Amino acid sequence: MALIVQKFGGSSVADRERIFHVARIVAGTFNEGHRVVVVVSAQGDTTDELLEKAGRISTHPAVRELDMLLATGEQISIALLCMALGELGVRAVSLTGWQAGFRTDRLHTRARIRRLDTERICSELDKNQVVVVAGFQGLDSCEDITTLGRGGSDTSAAALACALGAQRCCIYTDVDGVYTADPRIVPMAHKLEQISFDEMLELAGVGAQVLHGRSVEMARRWGVPLEVLSSIQPGSGTLVTEVCSMEGMQIKSVAVQKNVSVLSVAAAQRSLQPLLAVLSAQAVPVKQVLQCGAGEQQLQAQLLLEDAAAQQAKAALEARFDVLQLQKLEVREDVAFLSLVGSGLGEDAGALPQLLAALSDIGQYPDLITAGEVRISVLIDRSAAAEAVRSVHVAFFENDNENNTV
Amino acid sequence: MALIVQKFGGSSVADRERIFHVARIVAGTFNEGHRVVVVVSAQGDTTDELLEKAGRISTHPAVRELDMLLATGEQISIALLCMALGELGVRAVSLTGWQAGFRTDRLHTRARIRRLDTERICSELDKNQVVVVAGFQGLDSCEDITTLGRGGSDTSAAALACALGAQRCCIYTDVDGVYTADPRIVPMAHKLEQISFDEMLELAGVGAQVLHGRSVEMARRWGVPLEVLSSIQPGSGTLVTEVCSMEGMQIKSVAVQKNVSVLSVAAAQRSLQPLLAVLSAQAVPVKQVLQCGAGEQQLQAQLLLEDAAAQQAKAALEARFDVLQLQKLEVREDVAFLSLVGSGLGEDAGALPQLLAALSDIGQYPDLITAGEVRISVLIDRSAAAEAVRSVHVAFFENDNENNTV
C-alpha cells in the first residue's frame, strides 16, 4: 500500500463528465489499496470568470481580496469531485488549502509555501478515505487566504507529496507525458519514459509547458518522483526522477519559447548590478543574461525576458536613464529562444555544431548562443520557430544516431 | 461613534452596479464616523447555480461537501464588495465565516451558531476599516465548513450585532420595512415604524418573509434592535425592538401563508406524542398543532405543515399506520393560514369577531381558529387568500378605528 498524490488541472474537472472521469481514475487507484491524496484546480474557465468579475469592479483590486475571490474556484472543484467519488461508492473528504495545512508567506497572488501541517490530512487518510485538496491556495501568518500564483496547483501537489512522503506525485494533464518536442509542432516527436529533475527544470524554464518549474524544484529537493501523464488516455506517462542518465551525452527534448524579447543595453559604466537591482526592486523577472561584456568604462548586455516583462524593464530603466548612465536601451521582440535539453552536452562537442547545422539548413544563423551541461540555447527569428524545432528534431531524434535513445 | 452591523441580501449584490450601490451605503455610514461590520449573502442566483452544479453530479450529495460548495458563494461577494469599497476610497477587509469566528454545531446545511469568537473582527475594526463578513457560514468543532440554512445571513448579522454589542443591526432588503400587510397584495398597506420582537417573531412564523425568525429570536435574546430597511430607497425602515407596545390592543399586521397543508389524523389511542416522535425523528417540521381532541381511546388532531413537509409526514406516518393505531390520515392542500399579529389581542375580545366578520364578507367561514396574546390565526381557502388579506386589512387598518396606530 503506497501513498500516491494525484493532481488534476482545471480542464480535467471542467464539467460533469470530466469530473466523473477523474473520479474513476482516483477510485481505481484507491480501490487498488493505495492511500490517495488528490489535488484539483478550479474548473475550466472559473478563474478567468472570477478575474473578470473583479475587473468589472476595479482595475487594480487589492491583492488580498483577489486571493479571497480566486480561492473559491478550487473550493468548488473539491466539493464536486468528492460528490462524484461518493456516487462511485468511494468515501472522500474535501479540504481547502488552509484545512489541508498549507501555510504560506504573505505575498498575495504569488505566495510561497512556508510549511505544510499534515496533521489534518493524515487523520482524514487514517479514516480510509480519499482526501481531495484545493490546489493553488494557502493561509498566511495573519490567517488570510493566499494563492500561489502560476503553477500553483502543481506546486501544491508536489508539496503534499514531499510532506507526506508519497511514493509518487502524478500530474495529470492534457498531454500524456514529456516529448522530444511539442507534438503539435513536430508530429514525429515521441514520448520520453524518463527524464531527470535537472533536465525537466531546464525544459520548464525554456518553454515546455507540461510542468511548472516550482513543482519540479520541490520534488527534486525532497526526492519525490513526479509522473506526468494523461487524464484522458490511460497508460503510463513520463517519470521525472533524481537520476536517470547514464554516462555520455543524451539529448532529451527540443523546446522553443516564442513569447520572449531581448533587451539590449549599453552603459557608460562597467557593472550590470545596478540595472538588475532596479528590475529586481520592481519585481520584473529576467529569464536569463544572454551576454554581458564589460569594457573599462563600458557595459554591453543582452537580457532575455518575457515580452511583457521586457516592456516593464524598458520603462523602469528608461526612468533612470541618466542615473544608470545608459547609452542604449532596445527591445527586440521578433525573437524566439530555442533550447536543446539533455545531459552530458558539455562533454560532447558534437551537439552544438549539429544544432547549428540543422538551423543553417533553414537559413537561421543565431547570433546569441548559450551552452551548458544540460542545455544549449540559441536565439532565432520568431517567425522561424516552428520550422526550427522540426529541423532540429529531425537532426537529433529522427536519424539513426545514438542520441535519441532514452 | 457607534458600532453598526449592516446586512445585504443576495439580490442587493447581484451585479456590479448593485455592489457599488451597497458600497456607497456602507461608505456613507463609515464616513459618518461609525464602526461598520457588513454581512453579505451570495450574489443573486449563485447559490442556485451551485446547487445545480451539485445536482448534476449527485441527487443526494454529502451534506458536508454541499456546505463546502455553497460557502464559496458568500466568499465571492465579500471579496467583490471590499474591492468596490476600495474604489470608493474606503479601507475594507473581507472575512469568511470561519475567519470571522463563527463556530457552529455539526449539522451541515442547517448548522446552529454555538459561539462567535470576535477577536479577529475586533482587531480588524481597530485598524479603522470596514469589516465585510460572509454570512450564512461557519466552522464546526472538526474545522469543517458549515452553512446555517434558511435565514442564515440574517442570523449571521444578528449574531455579530449581539456578540459585538452593536447599537443596531440593519437588515437591508428589497422592501423598505414591515407593513400592515404585503403591499403586493394590499396596495393600501402602510409601513410600521416599530414592531416588537414578539410580534415580529409571530409574523415571521406565519408567512411574512421580511425577516427570518432565527435572527429575530437572537436579537430579542440579546436586546439588540433590528432595523428592516430598503437597500434601494433611502430613508428609515421599521425598527424591531424590545418594547414598543403600550397598554391595550394594537394590531400590527395581517399575513397569509399559502404554502401550507393541514394533516388530519385519527387514531385508536389517546396520545399525539408517538406521532410527533415519528415526525421529529425524521426531521419533519410541524408548524403548529391546530387542534387536538382526545377521547378515552381515541385521538383526533389537525397539524399545520408546509406543503412538502405534509407529504413527508404523511409518508412517515403511513409507514407506521398499524403501530400507531391510525384510523385516518389525510392531507388538505387547498388551504391558507391567515394571521393577525399585534399585542393585547387576548385582552380585547373584539379582534376575533371583527376578523371573522371581515372574512364572512368574502364568504369565508374558518373551521380552525387559534387565538393568543400576539396572534390570531384562521384557516381559509387557499384560493381566497389574497382577497381575505385585503378584506381584513380594510377592517383593521383602513377604518377610522384606533387599532391602526403604530
pLDDT for the residue numbered A405: 42
User: Is the model's pLDDT at B244 over the cut of 60?
Assistant: no
As a whole number, mean pLDDT of residues B255-263 equals 93
Name the H helices within B101-232. 119-125, 152-163, 197-205, 213-222
Q: Kindly state whether residue A384 falls inside one of the protein's structural domains.
A: no
Q: Which range among A55-64, B17-26, B171-180, B387-396 shows the weakest confidence by mean pLDDT?
A: B171-180
Edge to edge, what strands does the sheet with A260-267 contain?
Answer: A288-294, A299-306, A260-267, A326-332
Nearest neighbour of A75 by CB, restricted to B68, B86, B94: B68
Average pLDDT, chain A: 90
Question: Does B55 or A250 have the greater pLDDT score?
Answer: B55
Q: Kindly state whether residue A91 falls inside one of the protein's structural domains.
A: yes
pLDDT for the residue numbered B248: 63
Distance from chain centroid for Cα B64 = 24
pLDDT for the residue numbered A348: 67
Q: Which range among A48-57, A262-271, A383-392, B286-295 shows the weakest confidence by mean pLDDT?
A: B286-295
DSSP string, B34-98: -EEEEEE---TTHHHHHHHHHHHH-SS--HHHHHHHHHHHHHHHHHHHHHHHHHTT--EEEE-TT
Q: Kindly state whether residue A159 falls inside one of the protein's structural domains.
A: yes
Q: What one-character DSSP code corresponds to residue A78?
A: H
**Residue B337 to residue B257: CA distance in whole angstroms:** 5
Edge to edge, what strands does the sheet with B35-40 contain?
Answer: B92-95, B130-134, B35-40, B3-8, B168-173, B226-230, B238-241, B194-196
pLDDT for the residue numbered A149: 87
In this structure, are residues A238 and A191 in contact, taking their beta carbons and an 8 Å threshold? yes
Q: Kindly state whether residue B195 falls inside one of the protein's structural domains.
A: no
**Residue A251 to residue A345: CA distance in whole angstroms:** 8
User: Is the model's pLDDT at A393 over the cut of 90?
Assistant: yes
Query: Which burial class, exposed, middle or buried, applies to B268 when counting CB atoms under 10 A from its CB (0-12, 13-18, 19+)?
Result: exposed
Q: Kindly state whether residue A213 falls inside one of the protein's structural domains.
A: no
Q: Which range among A39-53, A307-321, A363-377, B86-100 shows the weakest confidence by mean pLDDT?
A: A363-377
Nearest neighbour of A87 by CB, restricted to B57, B79, B145: B57
The type of residue at A80 is: L
Query: What is the total count of domains within chain A?
Result: 1
Question: Does A119 or A206 have the greater pLDDT score?
Answer: A119
User: Is the model's pLDDT at A321 over the cut of 70?
Assistant: yes
Question: Cα-flanking dihedrals φ and ψ of residue B305, to 5°?
Answer: -140, 160
Quick check: B69 and A53 CB within 8 A? no
Q: Kindly state whether residue A89 falls inside one of the protein's structural domains.
A: yes
User: Is the model's pLDDT at A331 over the cut of 90?
Assistant: yes
Nearest neighbour of B76 by CB, restricted to A56, A69, A83: A69
Q: Kindly state whether residue B271 falls inside one of the protein's structural domains.
A: no
In this structure, are residues B210 and B175 in contact, taking their beta carbons and an 8 Å threshold? yes
Quick check: B79 and A68 CB within 8 A? yes
Nearest neighbour of A16 by CB, restricted to B57, B93, B143: B57
B354 inside 8 A of chain A by CB: no
- Scan residues 33-72 of B and list those with Cβ closer than 8 Å to A: 50, 53-54, 56-58, 61-62, 64-66, 68-69, 71-72
Q: Which range among A269-283, B115-129, B140-154, B389-403 shows the weakest confidence by mean pLDDT?
A: B389-403
Q: What is the pLDDT of residues B263-284, one digit of tens each?
A: 999 999 888 888 888 998 888 8
Give A310's Cβ-side CA count (13 Å radius).
23
B17 inside 8 A of chain A by CB: no
Edge to edge, what strands does the sheet with B288-294 contain?
Answer: B288-294, B299-306, B260-267, B326-332
Cβ-based contacts of A19 with chain B (< 8 Å):
57
Under DSSP, is residue B299 helix (H, G, I), strand (E, B) or coil? strand
pLDDT for the residue numbered B406: 39
Quick check: A58 and B86 CB within 8 A? yes
In this structure, are residues A370 and A341 in contact, taking their beta carbons and an 8 Å threshold? no
Question: pLDDT-based confidence at B348, cuts 50/70/90?
Answer: low
Residue B51's domain spans which residues?
A: 3-173
B352 inside 8 A of chain A by CB: no
Cβ-based contacts of A74 with chain B (< 8 Å):
none
Q: How far apart are the first and last CA of chain A?
A: 30
User: Is the model's pLDDT at B185 over the cut of 60?
Assistant: yes
User: Is the model's pLDDT at B125 over the cut of 90?
Assistant: yes
pLDDT for the residue numbered A245: 52
The greatest distance separating any two alpha carbons of chain A, rounded to the nearest whole angstrom, comes to 74
Closest CA to B262 of B292, B214, B303: B303
CA distance A392 to chain B (A): 47
ipTM of the complex in this document: 0.80
Question: Cα-flanking dihedrals φ and ψ of residue A302, to 5°?
Answer: -125, 120
Nearest neighbour of A80 by CB, restricted to B53, B75, B80: B53
pLDDT for the residue numbered B400: 57
**Nearest C-alpha in B relative to A23:** B57
Q: Which residues contact B281 (CB under 8 A, 6 or more apart)?
A: none
Interface-testing mutation among B21, B59, B68, with chain A (most A C-beta atoms within 10 A): B68
**Residue A209 to residue A207: CA distance in whole angstroms:** 6
User: Is the model's pLDDT at A159 over the cut of 60?
Assistant: yes
Quick check: A62 and B54 CB within 8 A? no
Q: Kindly state whether residue A41 falls inside one of the protein's structural domains.
A: yes
User: Is the model's pLDDT at B17 over the cut of 80?
Assistant: yes
As a whole number, mean pLDDT of residues A110-117 equals 94
CA distance B89 to chain A (A): 12
CATH classification at residue A167:
3.40.1160.10
- Scan residues 79-108 of B and list those with Cβ closer than 8 Å to A: 79-80, 82-84, 86-87, 93-94, 96, 99
Report which secondary-structure segment, H or E, holds A227. strand A226-230
CA distance B60 to chain A (A): 9
Under DSSP, is residue B148 helix (H, G, I), strand (E, B) or coil? coil
As a whole number, mean pLDDT of residues B84-108 equals 97
User: Is the model's pLDDT at A220 over the cut of 50?
Assistant: yes
Quick check: A79 and B65 CB within 8 A? yes
Q: Which residues contact B208 (CB under 8 A, 6 or more apart)?
A: B178, B182, B253, B255
Cβ-based contacts of B58 with chain A (< 8 Å):
83-84, 86-87
